Structure 1
Amino acid sequence: MKITPTIRAEVQTYLIRKGLSMTKFGRIIDLNPGTVSGIVTGNRTISMHQLDRITLGMDLPPDHFYERYIEECIMEEPLNWKRISPFLYRCVQFQRVDCLQKVVSVLLDKPSYLHYLFELAEDCYEEGYNEAAAYLYENIAEGEKYQHSDRLAICHYRIFTIQVGDDQRRNFKAATRFESFVERLDEIDQLDALKDLANVYRSLRQWDKVDEMAKKMRDKAEIQYSMKHQQKSRKNREHEKETRGPLFGYIAYADLLCASVCETQGDYQQALQYTYAYANLDWVLETDENTLHWIKMFQDWAQCNTYINKLLSGDTCVLPDYVEYIAASKVDKEMITKLLNVMFAANRFQLDVNHVLERFETLIDSFVQMGQPSSDMYTKQVIPEQFARFEYELAYYYLYRSMHSDGFKYLMYAMLKSHIINNEAYFINCMGLFLHFQDYAVPETKAGFLNLIEKVWMNNVEKNGTTDHCG
């Protein structure tokens, strides 16, 4: 078995090979010669700063000594957070989660270190080092699972936001796991958590859950808004925790979500009542620029959704006005939703919207290429789901109008997006639509369809394993 030399031995060998004295090497790496001597002779513990300087001076990768540093300078020394924490931050920075785990597994046995590890996890989360953050939050939560602390709830909130991604099945598990911890968060964090949960459930079309989260959010936001504007509580509020968005917005957004629930249930009159509620924000007391911006946003959403509810309820006369409204809108992430509703109406009421599709052809083509990197739960979850639905509705429209080339093109896009987000219901709908029109597909289209089916099958085999053989 090969014996790995210690850090000190490797440094000493390097100095001999290069013909360097400790004094000269100290000048090269900007360390006191006495410090270098103490490190080489073993009379001095190596700090993280000193390890960085030595590694750089020897022209080695920054993490070259990390495994040995754990054994020689952490495990063999009394635990000391001031000495250990710089090393853990370096492990995160250079994505050495394996080294992070080795040290953290030791610290987790000492409850007094949970506070420090939580601060490290928060820093990782803020900097976007999600793998390290998730590992830390999971283990901190396990260490505090019998406590009813804010810290435990925040760990589960962070785990939830990290886990939510393209896979809708995984998202559902993450949401249901986190939901029971919402009430343990402080009152302000509860509002953001409920909003995030509502948007994840909205992307999953779990409308009962959307309704539940929205109503809880409204009740809590109304209490917080009332407290904020009570004369007695206005003092000393400048140091209080703030929500991500303006407080009144959580009340208005709850009405928007409830309107979405009613719309999917076909109760368009009730959806309009909720829409009128978040359109009329005269009760909002703030008058700053940010408030006025959000009020305008809600009024714009209300105008859009008023058109939509009338259109989907069968009042197709509003379609021309709705199309003009879309044309006058700023091109942003909401455009997919606006055009999706045109397709819903077209397919439901057999409307000819070729002129609309031609008008927005360039924009529609851009949707196919559009990615959605975002930390905002609505953009990250709801919008990708709407892309898949939009492409399916486009395919449905074109195929039933015998425009087979365009229909199959968008159907393949819809199938691919449905596979990416792991939405089996959409994928099955796409398969059914393809099979219904397969006689009109050219050989290249059929081959593409079969290749995609095989790819999905292979991915499922890799993920879930093969079935057992008989006999």
Structure 2
Amino acid sequence: MAQLDLITQGMKLEEGYFYEIYGAECFVESAPHWRRLEPFLQRCAELDKLECIHKVIQEVTDDRSYISELFEMAEGMLEREQTKAARMLYECVAECEKYQHSERLALCQYRIFTLSLGQNQHDNLRAAVHFEPYINRLDEERQLDAIKDLANTYLALRYWDKVFDLAEELGQKTSFLTSYKKRKLETPRITSYPHFVYSAYSNLLKAAACDGKEEYLDALRYTEAYSNLIRIEQPDDEDLKYINKFSGWAEVNRYLYRLMMGDSEVISPYIAIVTKNEAEVLPAMLKIMEAANHHNIDVDSVLEKMDSYVSMYSKTYGDIGSYTEQITNERYVQFLKEVSIYQFNRERYTMGFQHLFECLEVAQSMKSESVIIQCVGLFERHRFKVSLELENRYKTIIEEVYRNYEKKGSFDRSFV
């Protein structure tokens, strides 16, 4: 590969110019050898030549002796953040081993699941459903991370019962593994976090599920449960990092659940706490708006004060703090919906429609059908107050939504 790159450079051609020809001659038309194949695949990953990787690995996997090497190579690519190339190798290995009841197959499916997650909620749900049957084939410790990631995905999808069930499973498996580890002190840890974190997180997930189902007293009870679980003896530096995180979440959530029960006096101390941590602003503002709409609380001053904090989410994508991209995006679209309802309730229709249309555009990019339908319903409920200019903007947005779903037949032109 080094010689080929030097020849290409000497001919003043773009990097990787001859890779397709090289791949065809060395790995498709003749018997491949791993000493040639490995550097070729790695160089293709570095230059993002995914089509070359795809063509070659489709041929070489006829020889199953390379499956183990391809898997190890995918793991290395993942560490180097060559995620697209890594996913192709994982998918290839998974396809070759689809009839094997192996841990390697399960780990490939886990990697594919995490690499599949993005803004599209349809794709996230599909990835979650596809991966879930493989969890119990993973190593017992890796199961903790897998269940956590799966629960976070369903949390973003607002599947509250599913979140609660996975939280129960996470707690049970953590309890078993912790007792096993006490008997096997020499066994190294392979989980991403200390074991007590998973026990605490299972209760935090239960609290979040109860919050979603408006069972706030139960949410408070699970909040106290994870507050107690983080009281451990002689914590090290890593332990202290997570103890502080859970302590902060518990303090915030106690205010939150009181707010959701209608206690407006907690808004000021609640805001004072969340503004210390940028990642907590959006979830706090979403819940404040939900409480305002449910209990008819005036939060104009809060919206004005927090506008600069919230506006950044319209330009921000990706993980924020401890929250995944999926959870953050779902919270943002729900926040826009709640603000539009709040403005409509106060007969500020122009502001209501502006937030509603932004919500609709974000929901469309996420393929969140449930939010799209709610937006359409809100528009129809207040259509009599829309101006001609805003109605034309709505028609433009909803036509784009319709085009995206036309093949599925999910929407009817009567929405327009």
The answer to whether the superposition gives a TM-score over 0.5 is yes
Distance in structure 2 (CA, Å) of the matches to 1:64 and 1:280: 60
Contact 1:260 1:271 (C-alpha < 8 Å) held by counterparts:
yes
Structure 2 residue corresponding to 1:148, chosen from 101, 106, 118: 101
Cross-structure match for 2:299: 353
Aligned residues: 411
How far off its partner does 1:207 sit?
1.3
Cross-structure match for 1:365: 311
Contact 1:200 1:377 (C-alpha < 8 Å) held by counterparts:
no
Contact 2:340 2:353 (C-alpha < 8 Å) held by counterparts:
yes
Distance in structure 2 (CA, Å) of the matches to 1:265 and 1:459: 31
Distance in structure 1 (CA, Å) of the matches to 2:27 and 2:98: 27
Q: Label 1:118 to 1:188 Cα distance change in 2 as closer, same or farther (>3 A).
A: same
Secondary structure in 1 aligned to 2:279? coil
Secondary structure in 2 aligned to 1:79? coil
Q: Identify which range, 388-397 or 54-63, moves more after superposition.
A: 54-63
Cross-structure match for 1:130: 83
Q: Identify which range, 424-433 or 70-79, moves more after superposition.
A: 70-79
Q: Which has the higher contact order (CA 8 A, sep 6+)?
A: 2
Q: Label 1:466 to 1:241 Cα distance change in 2 as closer, same or farther (>3 A).
A: closer
Distance in structure 1 (CA, Å) of the matches to 2:202 and 2:82: 32
Distance in structure 1 (CA, Å) of the matches to 2:106 and 2:389: 52
Distance in structure 2 (CA, Å) of the matches to 1:465 and 1:272: 43
Structure 2 residue corresponding to 1:234, chosen from 163, 180, 185: 185
2:232 aligned with 1:287: no
* 1:26-49 alpha-carbon deviations (Å, 9 max, x no partner): xxxxxxxxxxxxxxxxxxxxxx22
Structure 1 residue corresponding to 2:165, chosen from 202, 212, 216: 212
Query: Percentage identity across aligned positions?
Result: 38
Cross-structure match for 1:95: 48
Q: Say which one has the larger Rg.
A: 1
* 1:103-156 alpha-carbon deviations (Å, 9 max, x no partner): 212221111110111122222323333332222222211211222221100110
Structure 2 residue corresponding to 1:163, chosen from 116, 120, 134: 116
* 1:160-210 alpha-carbon deviations (Å, 9 max, x no partner): 112111111111111011000011111121111100000000111111211
Cross-structure match for 1:83: 36
So what's the TM-score if we normalise by structure 2?
0.93
Contact 1:148 1:184 (C-alpha < 8 Å) held by counterparts:
yes
How far off its partner does 1:437 sit?
1.6
How far off its partner does 1:464 sit?
5.0
Distance in structure 2 (CA, Å) of the matches to 1:359 and 1:137: 47
Distance in structure 1 (CA, Å) of the matches to 2:363 and 2:34: 47
Amino acid at match of 1:357: L
* Runs (5+) with no aligned partner, structure 2: 412-416
Contact 1:281 1:295 (C-alpha < 8 Å) held by counterparts:
no
RMSD: 2.2
Cross-structure match for 2:414: none
Structure 1 residue corresponding to 2:244, chosen from 272, 296, 299: 296
Distance in structure 2 (CA, Å) of the matches to 1:282 and 1:67: 55
How far off its partner does 1:466 sit?
11
Cross-structure match for 1:393: 338
2:71 aligned with 1:118: yes
* Runs (5+) with no aligned partner, structure 1: 1-47
How far off its partner does 1:241 sit?
4.0
2:216 aligned with 1:268: yes
